[in-house]
Structure 1
Amino acid sequence: MSAQLPACQLLQRYYGDHTALCPVAPGRDEWLVHQSASMVSDSVALRDVWQTHQKAAFSPFEPTIELEGQVVLFWPKAHQLGLWWLDWLCQVLPEGTSVDIVGEHQGGIKRVPKWLDERGLKWDKLDNARRCTLYSTRTRALGDPDAAWTTFTAGELTLASHPGVFGHGKVDEGTTLLLEALDSRGLKTPLRVLDMGCGDGIISAWLAKRGHEVSAVDVSAFAVQATERTLAANALSARVLESDVYSKLDGERFDLIVSNPPFHQERDISFGPSARLIEKAREHLTPRGELVLVANGFLPYPELLKRAMGEFETLADNRRFRVYRAGA
């Protein structure tokens, strides 16, 4: 079996096929799944892949984590998130544990030695190929990873934010347009609402504050944590859970599904989750339910909506973003 992702190709070249690995924040690669003794990821979708192959897979927020194999941190595009993972590993692993760090050159891996130096972590360069580099270091006591959490005010709400969560530290323009469109419609109360891809929880909190029964889901554990913190900061309640689109909802139906769906995975554009959101919406809407979503104007969502939902309308358009509505 050959690795497919460039970073995994470098790992296969360096480690061969006989070293048990513990990837942290990896991408999906069948070779890596096969080589793993355990893994850690904020993505419930990726953890499900590893668990399907009977491999131990952990969220970084689980109370008990037992890592097996050579720890390899996959450096993310968001360097603040990479630093959080580094601090987290130094907290959960015994001091002096070997940690290797791999990433693509265009993703900022070449800046990692500078950040390791700033944290007083000694490092070595192990290998480079496929426009990727592999470094090694060892854990030592560092700062508290919780320090990465921040809060900021957005209108009537206080929002919690974490590196790697969509719109980190600010309100996305598309989300603002979406909330304005929902406000202008004068939603009846209470509706059973699903916030798909809840991010920092701004949409869920806005809806809960207006008396709706909200379920908030996201594939990322960071987003789930952020939404829970946002709700708590505003003395609001909602159900929050990790789910790869509808995977954990077991056929539940809602009066309203609302979303600002992501279309980036690291540096790649991916419509997979958004397409599943739209294609399966009818199965999760009540007979008079509605799907309302916001998207960049250039994205091909009208085609997806027309194919899956039939008729749809544009509720708002500011030339950069559009808010679409389709009924069940």
Structure 2
Amino acid sequence: MSAQAPACQLLERQNDTYTALWAIGPPTDSWLIDQSMGVISGDLDALREWQAKGKHALTPFDLAAGEPLSKEIVLFWPKAHQLGIWWLKWLCEQLPEGTPIEIVGEHQGGIKRVPKMLDELGMRWDKRDNARRCSLFATQTVALDSTSDSAWQQFETLGLTLNSHPGVFGHGKVDEGTLLLLESLESSLPKKPLKVLDMGCGDGIISAWLAQRGHHVTAVDVSAFAVEACKRSLAANGLAGRVLCSDVFSALEGEQFDWIVSNPPFHKERDISYGPSQRLISQAPEHLNTGGRLVIVANGFLPYPDHLQRAFQDFQTLADNRRFKVYGAIKSGR
């Protein structure tokens, strides 16, 4: 099977050099999965694809410092450049000094900026190949002055302390849509403690806000970075909550909630993807108690009203500031 992703097609030209490849933050590509020993990724979907083929699959938070990896490390450069720098620093911490690392990525994804970043980190580099509008660089781990933990950003908002990581939605700031959602909840959420699901928790602002008001919170996200950020945000505020890595409801089989609250994503890297949001809406009734409520916020142009109408037969627009709309739908007892 040939590689499909452009960055993997570039690697395929070097195929004879890989015998025990570890892919770091890669796209899902069958050729790469077959070629590699394992993957380290923050993306649950990627981890599942590797696991399905019997390969090693770890998040960076599963790997203990010094745990042995093969010396065939390929980092797939992410869209979020600060996340790419985090990966480089993390690899330098995990691997012995002088361990070879290759870095591959698409030109439109910013790979051309990598040499400058390597220079700033004091990491010598060579350009190995260039094709498919992608580039491949070779470097080696070094001892760095700053740690990967320095990428975490802590900030205050709405009386809460939040912890944010590069690559997590809204890194270092509060999204306008989330603020509109919380403003809407302030006037509509019952005072009595509810069992609430925060779907797509990001840095944990919704979870922390709900937990601060006494609700029993379960938070899920498909990103291991978001799960870690949400855990840190809850801990920073002395709040309790269960935080899980889940592809929409995949980790919540059979569970039901009083409310489901979400600022659902509609991007995956540079692509628009409505799939997770559609599954959230269509499967929400199965995970709500009778009389339970789904509340979501979305850009005004997104086609969620049709999905809400199909799933719940009725819905309300709870807030509208022209850019974002907050929708609410109740599970009836019929």
Q: Give TM-score scaled by structure 2 length.
A: 0.95
8 Å Cα contact 2:71-2:100 kept in structure 1: no
Counterpart CA distance in 2 for 1:5 and 1:252 is 37
Q: Any idea what the Cα deviations from partners look like across 1:13-37, whole Å, max 9, x if unmatched?
A: 2225964421101111111111110
Aligned AA (2:248): V
Q: Tell me the CA shift for residue 151 of structure 1.
A: 0.8
- Give the deviation of 1:299 after TM superposition: 1.0
1:180 partnered with 2:174: no
Identity across the alignment (%)? 64
Q: Is the CA contact (8 Å cut-off) linking 1:37 and 1:69 kept in structure 2?
A: no
**Deviation digits for residues 252-297 of structure 1 (CA, Å, limit 9, x no counterpart):** 0000000001111111111111111111111111111111111111
Match of 1:70 in 2: 72
**CA, structure 1 residues 71+192, in 2 after alignment: closer, same or farther (shift >3 Å)?**
same
State the partner residue of 2:53. Answer: 53
User: How far apart are residue 69 of structure 1 and its match?
Assistant: 6.0
The equivalent residue for 1:3 is 3
**1:128-277 alignment runs, 5 A limit:** 128-142=130-144, 143-277=146-280
Write out the 4+ residue segments of structure 1 that deviate beyond 3 Å after TM superposition: 16-20, 63-66
Deviation (angstroms), 1:234: 1.0
Give 1:15's aligned residue. Answer: 15
Which residue of 126, 129, 132 maps to 2:128?
Answer: 126
**RMSD of aligned alpha carbons:** 1.4
Q: Which runs of 5+ in 1 are unaligned?
A: none
- Equivalent residue letter for 1:174: G
Q: 1:101-134: per-residue Cα shift (whole Å, max 9, x none)?
A: 0111111100100010111111111111111101
Q: State the Cα deviation string for residues 182-210 of structure 1 (Å, max 9, x = none).
A: 11214242110000010010000100011
Take 2:307 and 2:298, find their aligned partners in 1: how far apart are those partners? 12
Describe the shift of the 1:144–1:42 C-alpha distance in structure 2 as closer, same or farther (beyond 3 A): same
The answer for unaligned runs of 5 or more in structure 2 is none
State the SS of the aligned residue for 1:169: coil
**2:130 match: secondary structure:** strand
CA distance in 2, matches of 1:70, 1:123: 16
Deviations 1:227-274 (A, max 9, x none): 111111111111111111111112100000000011111111111111
Tell me the number of residue pairs that the alignment of Structure 1 and Structure 2 aligns. Answer: 328
Distance in 1 separating the partners of 2:306 and 2:129:
45
Q: TM-score by structure 1 length?
A: 0.97
SS of the residue corresponding to residue 326 of structure 2 reads strand
Q: Determine helix, strand or coil for the equivalent of 2:13.
A: helix
What one-letter code is carried by the residue in structure 1 that aligns with 2:277?
Answer: S
- Alignment check: 8 A CA contact 1:160 1:200 kept: yes
1:215–1:186: structure 2 CA closer, same or farther, 3 Å change rule? closer
User: Per-residue deviation at 1:67?
Assistant: 2.7
